[in-house]
Amino acid sequence: MKIIQSKEFGEYWKKNIFKSEDKKTEETVKNIIADVRDNGDEAVKKYSSKFDKSSPDKLEVPFSEAKNALVQMHEKEPDLTEAIEFAADNIYRFSLKQKEQFKDFEFEIQPGLFTGQRIIPVQRAAVYVPGGRFPLFSSVLMCMIPALCAGAEEVILCSPPAENGIPNQKILAAAANAANVCGISDNRLRIFTIGGAQAIAALAYGTESVPRCDIICGPGNRFVAAAKRQLYGQVGIDFIAGPSDVLIITDGKNNADFAAVDMIAQAEHDPDARARALVPDLGFAEKLAAAVETRVSELPSGEIARTSLENALVVVYKNREEAVKIANIIAPEHLELQTEDAHELVPLLKNYGSLFIGSLSAEVLGDYSAGVNHTLPTETSARFTGGLSVRHFLKIVTTLRCEDTDGFEKARNAAEIIARTEGLEGHAISAASRRRQ
């Protein structure tokens, strides 16, 4: 863990913010995408055989497998089932509230000139959920439920096959739970046992088995991220996910242990995860470092967390204004306010994926159970986008309806003049043809 004074932050940030492009990964993914585009299922199975734990003959998994997985989970792990149901219900209720903010309208902007918007769900949304060391079954809920609440006609879940040829059982159970909480029929959900860049390519282009999707969301490794980056435009995406990160602002009046355990929670994601804190003085910084060292030594996943924490950063700030300025520069994925004046800071903070207000509002609640989404922008992209929400599965399109009135004639005449001035005579003729006789 590195402790620096705020005056050192600018130079530190310049050296550490930008990463060089991973050309080898990009080239590998480019070749996989081209192969899947040209050879469909055959290419998908080839890469599954090469990279995954198994390569099943059939890529689609019957939804009955998800239902069975949920039943088995309920029998073997009732507490986990109850926790997932609680989390799913909160995500569902929050997503419905978000959907309420998007409405159709039409209004008369000038006499006879009616402008409006329509909110149209995407037809087919894809959710990618990695398997890996820790299968992120919570991401199933975070991605599928907003898509279903938005009104997507069909949701496709892709996840790598385990040794038995189908995705992880908890991932399947979470999919069934999402269907239950949203009250939707099975025919709106399909599951495919595909992982990696080949899954993203299959979802973007479509294959003999996999339908072409309109948007792909969900986390993944660097190959998945590279595939989403290269295929954006061919298909919509949520955003490019980099290493997860947290920034904690503390005024030193809370127990340093709160900040320590939240930094460690972030660090255990993977060795590249980034844990950062802004503290008021060097004494608290040293308390925080000691608390982190004590806690990480007790952690089963301590090896991963310790590797990540080697790159952890603690910045000693001079005053509240300086802390806010640094936080807005970092633009963290998760921003925690462990301060007595947390509510006063909220209007000043502009760049974050999700905000956790007060020392009780641990980021882990946002990860799992409180209802807000955990699929969030990383690597400073919170400067221009928020996290995954219902809006990612909605298109806001505009409408125009005209009547032969003075307002229409003024708009028509203005369009004719502007078009002709730009040198687009065809546009001018189109407007002129509707001139009142």
Burial 291-318 (b: 16+ CB within 10 A, else e): bbeebbeebeebebbbebbebbbbbbbe
Identify which of 322, 229, 231 has the alpha carbon closest to the alpha carbon of residue 280.
Answer: 322
Residue 50's CB is within 10 A of a number of other CB atoms, namely 11
Q: Give the contacts of 339 (CB within 8 A, at least 6 positions apart).
A: 249, 250, 251, 253, 254, 345
128 and 200 Cβ atoms separated by less than 8 Å: yes
Strand-pair partners of 121? 394
How does DSSP classify residue 13? Answer: H
- Locus of tokens 């192969």: 35
Identify which of 152, 172, 150, 153 has the alpha carbon closest to the alpha carbon of residue 161.
Answer: 172
Rounded-to-integer distance, Cα 346 and Cα 136, Å: 30
Task: Tell me, yes or no, if 334 is annotated catalytic.
Answer: yes
Q: Which of 65, 268, 334, 392 is catalytic?
A: 334
**What is the side-by-side strand order in the sheet with 2-5?**
2-5, 313-316, 274-279, 245-250, 334-338, 354-357
Q: Give the contacts of 42 (CB within 8 A, at least 6 positions apart).
A: none
- Which long-range contacts does 405-414 make (Cβ < 8 Å, 24+ apart)? 405/111, 405/112, 405/113, 406/111, 406/112, 407/108, 407/109, 407/110, 407/111, 407/112, 407/113, 408/110, 408/111, 408/112, 408/113, 409/435, 409/436, 410/110, 411/110, 411/113
Task: Tell me, yes or no, if 427 is annotated catalytic.
Answer: no
Q: Which of 333, 336, 363, 409 is catalytic?
A: 333
Number of H helices, E strands in the chain: 16, 15
Rounded-to-integer distance, Cα 8 and Cα 11, Å: 6
Residue 160's CB is within 10 A of a number of other CB atoms, namely 26
Point out the residues that are catalytic. Answer: 333-334
